[in-house]
Amino acid sequence: MGKLRAGLIGLGMMGRHHARVLQETEGVELVAVADAYGDPHGVAGGLPFYSGVEELIAHGVDMVMCAVPTGLHEEVGLALAEAGIHTMVEKPIASTIEGGQRLADAFESRGLVGAVGHIERYNPALQSLRARLRKGDLGEVYQIATRRQGPFPSRIADVGVIKDLGTHDIDLTAWLAASEYESVSARTTTRSGREHEDMLAANGQLANGIITSHLVNWLSPMKERMTVVTGERGSFMADTLTADLTFFENGTISTEWDSVANFRGVSEGNVTRLAIAKREPLKVEHEAFRDAVLAARGETRDELAPGTAGIVTMREGLNTLRVAEAMTVSSREARTIRLRD
């Protein structure tokens, strides 16, 4: 079995990381790169460099990583689908729901692998957390709350904080809970003088009854990436910056010292920082894409470990975009949006 011939289009901040990982991924050979705006980070090296997707297609590739600006996802993705090439696009899937729908339909109708790069699913802390939730370690889950805050990223110009950062939390929440969003209520503000919103506070409810809370902004001088899942047996806290997972257990020992009990809570139990293996999420994401392409071609990898993470499908990426758009509408119209309507 020969290596899969991979192409990369989009050589910006994320593109350079994709180039590095593609060159390190076993069973994959990065054979050409493309970007209409040049190669500012020197990603190409000695590889063939092209200005557009048609030239990349003509070079001959089995799979492509698409890291162009969001507004170009649909155009580039549809060209790749038409050429019969398995593709992963960076998140969000597209700038509009209609564009995302066309992309998902194009890849599905041709039996091609279409993936979206929602990288947080591959964070080791969240991978471990999801496995523990599926085993029932937390019992019934009540709430999933996320905080994603930090300084403004100058690389983002074509979308606001909901589509760039909030889509991470929308996707990982639905994935952890194995349930789609039922409703959302959001508020946003714009303080940086840009066209798009730069701060979001949103609440929601999933179809299985779990409630959600999301704080997202580009205005904070501190950077944090936290996911807290609370249930009948306690809470899990995942820090995806450090890939640490901590379990706060509900206590079973009563506290007789009243002032301490009032301050700390009567159900406080053991706090355990869990030991988990930590691999770079981007590498795991590309391995999942590679394996999906191999499966679509009827090939397998004998060394593939059981339980290896799968891709984020374009249909899942489209659902995430629908929730993001609903948050935008909710903020603009000051009302709760029911997704099923």
pLDDT tens, residue by residue, 206-222: 999 999 999 999 999 99
pLDDT at residue 266 in the model: 46
Average pLDDT over residues 35-62: 95
β-pairing, 63-66 with 86-90?
parallel
Q: In the structure, what pLDDT confidence band is assigned to residue 299 with cuts at 50, 70 and 90? A: confident
Please give the share of the chain, as a percent, with pLDDT higher than 90.
Answer: 84
Tens of pLDDT, residue by residue over 70-112, are 999 999 999 999 999 999 999 999 999 999 999 999 999 999 9
Q: In the structure, what pLDDT confidence band is assigned to residue 16 with cuts at 50, 70 and 90? A: very high
How far apart, in whole angstroms, are the C-alpha atoms of residue 83 and residue 56? 11
pTM higher than 0.85, yes or no? yes
Cβ atoms of 34 and 9 within 8 Å: the answer is yes
Cis peptide before 92 (omega within 30 of 0): yes
pLDDT at residue 34 in the model: 98
Whether the pLDDT of residue 188 is over 80: the answer is yes
DSSP state of 2: P
Q: Which residue has the tokens 């959302």?
A: 184
How far apart, in whole angstroms, are the C-alpha atoms of residue 145 and residue 230? 8
- The dihedrals phi and psi of 295, each to the nearest 5 degrees, come to -65, -40
Whether the pLDDT of residue 304 is over 90: the answer is no
pLDDT at residue 301 in the model: 60
Tens of pLDDT, residue by residue over 127-161, are 999 999 999 999 999 999 999 999 887 665 678 99
Beta strands in the chain (DSSP E): 4-9, 28-34, 49-50, 63-66, 86-90, 114-117, 141-149, 181-189, 199-206, 211-217, 224-231, 234-239, 244-250, 268-274, 337-338
